[in-house]
Homo-oligomer: A and B are copies of this chain.
């Protein structure tokens, strides 16, 4: 992962595509948790149950998907495939708030993670 490679602490071998996908999942997990918090603090339409739930769903499947890859699991294609689907739904839901900077940043990260996970799922299939 980028943050490890910069510091030169990563020694385990892994394809650059998988390293990138782990990075994308961890970034998406982080921004979804922060965005859920932002929405709760904004209240109103931002905090409607379905939206916050989707952000929490996306955060969790991104974490799980990253962990399968970090374990070098042979089944990471399954979790990456599911993760890609959830990220797309989350991105679309965030894009309903074009005036909210945090939400738009979150949507962008979700779409990047979806593309990366879809690619990994195809490579694993």
Contact = CB atoms under 8 A, between A and B. Distances in A.
Interface in A1-44: 1-4, 6-7, 9-12, 14, 22-23, 26-27, 30-31, 33-38, 40-41, 43
Given A11-B101, A12-B37, A63-B63, A4 B22 contact: no
15 contacts: A4-B27, A7-B27, A9-B109, A10-B31, A12-B34, A12-B35, A12-B37, A26-B30, A33-B67, A40-B48, A41-B49, A50-B74, A60-B64, A75-B86, A81-B82
Chain A interface size band reads 35 or more
A115 interface: no
Question: This chain: how many copies in the complex?
Answer: 4
A27 B40 contact: no
Interface in A55-89: 56-57, 60-61, 63-64, 66-68, 70-75, 78-79, 81-82, 85-86, 89
Interface in A96-114: 101-102, 105, 108-109
Given A70-B34, A101-B11, A105-B11, A2 B3 contact: yes
A52 interface: yes
A68 B57 contact: yes
